């Protein structure tokens, strides 16, 4: 059971990264690595998929009218709460803003807003109808495949190193934020820094850790 949800977390963290990358590229016409970490993962989607799988496992065993409506509403609420918790943790602990819905109608302190909560609801319906029915069989195939298990182990190792490096970077961000008494929007900063980098531009767009880390390291030395 634990291995199953670890696989789900890893798979959907990667899928979420690609979705965010494409969405942000279409919206802003710029390519930037989304999220808190340097690698091709957005853990928020991994946690969201685990929550949705648990929810769907409960609801699929129940027979009642308006199940589709219930799934939509519950998914909307649960994923919005997850997004709220993640936003509060990043802001209060690391002094980071990875998203800000303050300009949207019906938002709560910029952490969540009605528009994106509705999107979470629709994604829940897609998950329930088109992913959940096949997910257990897919995970079983992966778990019993030796190569997949090896790749999974490699992924976990890389993820752990990336997470550690991202926390170190966040601590530098927090120190700099405290020094200037200002909340840092990390993704806007990554875009600004990338404009100043002439060599390996695409590489820096996708994996901006080095230039971002160097920026805060230098700034903290000078403050």
Q: What is the DSSP secondary-structure string of the chain?
A: -HHHHHHHHHHHHHHHHHHHHHHHHHHHS-----SSSSSS--HHHHHHHHHHHHHHHHHTT---TTHHHHHHHHHHHHHHHHHHHHHHHHHHHH-EES---TTSTTEETTTEEHHHHHHHHHHHHHIIIIIHHHHHHHHHHHHT-HHHHHHHHHHHHHHHHHHHHHHHHHHHHHHHHHHHT--EEHHHHHHHHHHH--TTHHHHHH--HHHHHHHHHHHHHH-
Rounded to whole angstroms, the Cα distance separating 152 from 67 reads: 35
Q: What local confidence, expressed as pLDDT, does residue 128 receive?
A: 96
**pLDDT tens track of the chain, all 223 residues?**
889 999 999 999 999 999 998 988 888 777 778 877 888 899 999 999 999 999 999 998 888 888 999 999 999 999 999 999 999 998 988 888 889 999 999 999 999 999 999 999 999 999 999 999 999 999 999 999 999 999 999 999 999 988 988 888 888 888 888 888 888 887 777 777 766 665 555 555 555 666 677 777 777 776 6
In a domain, 221, yes or no: no
In a domain, 157, yes or no: yes
Q: What local confidence, expressed as pLDDT, does residue 39 receive?
A: 81
Q: What local confidence, expressed as pLDDT, does residue 69 receive?
A: 94
CB 149 within 8 A of CB 143: yes
Range of the domain at 75: 2-163
Q: What local confidence, expressed as pLDDT, does residue 205 receive?
A: 57
Rounded to whole angstroms, the Cα distance separating 32 from 18 reads: 11
Number of domains composing the chain: 1
In a domain, 204, yes or no: no
In a domain, 208, yes or no: no
In a domain, 147, yes or no: yes
In a domain, 121, yes or no: yes
In a domain, 105, yes or no: yes
Q: What local confidence, expressed as pLDDT, does residue 11 receive?
A: 95
149's tokens: 């298990």
Q: What local confidence, expressed as pLDDT, does residue 210 receive?
A: 64
0.85 exceeded by pTM: yes
Q: What local confidence, expressed as pLDDT, does residue 184 receive?
A: 81
In a domain, 178, yes or no: no
Q: What local confidence, expressed as pLDDT, does residue 112 receive?
A: 97
């Amino acid at each position: 059971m634990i291995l199953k949800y670890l696989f789900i977390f890893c798979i959907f963290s990667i899928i979420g990264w690609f979705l965010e990358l494409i969405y942000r590229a279409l919206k802003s016409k710029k390519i930037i690595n989304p999220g808190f970490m340097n690698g091709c993962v957005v853990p928020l989607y991994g946690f969201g998929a685990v929550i949705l799988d648990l929810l769907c496992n409960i609801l699929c065993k129940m027979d009642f009218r308006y199940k589709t409506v219930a799934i939509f509403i519950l998914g909307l609420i649960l994923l919005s709460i997850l997004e709220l918790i993640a936003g509060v943790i990043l802001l209060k602990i690391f002094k980071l803003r990875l998203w800000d819905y303050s300009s949207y109608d019906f938002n709560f302190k910029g952490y969540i807003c009605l528009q994106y909560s509705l999107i979470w609801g629709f994604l829940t319906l897609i998950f329930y109808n088109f992913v959940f029915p096949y997910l257990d069989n897919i995970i079983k195939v992966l778990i019993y495949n030796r190569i997949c298990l090896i790749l999974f182990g490699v992924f976990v190792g890389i993820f752990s190193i990336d997470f550690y490096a991202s926390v170190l970077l966040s601590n530098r961000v927090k120190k700099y934020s405290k020094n200037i008494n200002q909340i840092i929007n990390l993704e806007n900063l990554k875009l600004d820094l990338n404009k100043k980098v002439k060599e390996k531009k695409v590489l820096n767009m996708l994996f901006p850790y080095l230039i971002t880390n160097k920026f805060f390291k230098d700034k903290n030395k000078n403050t």
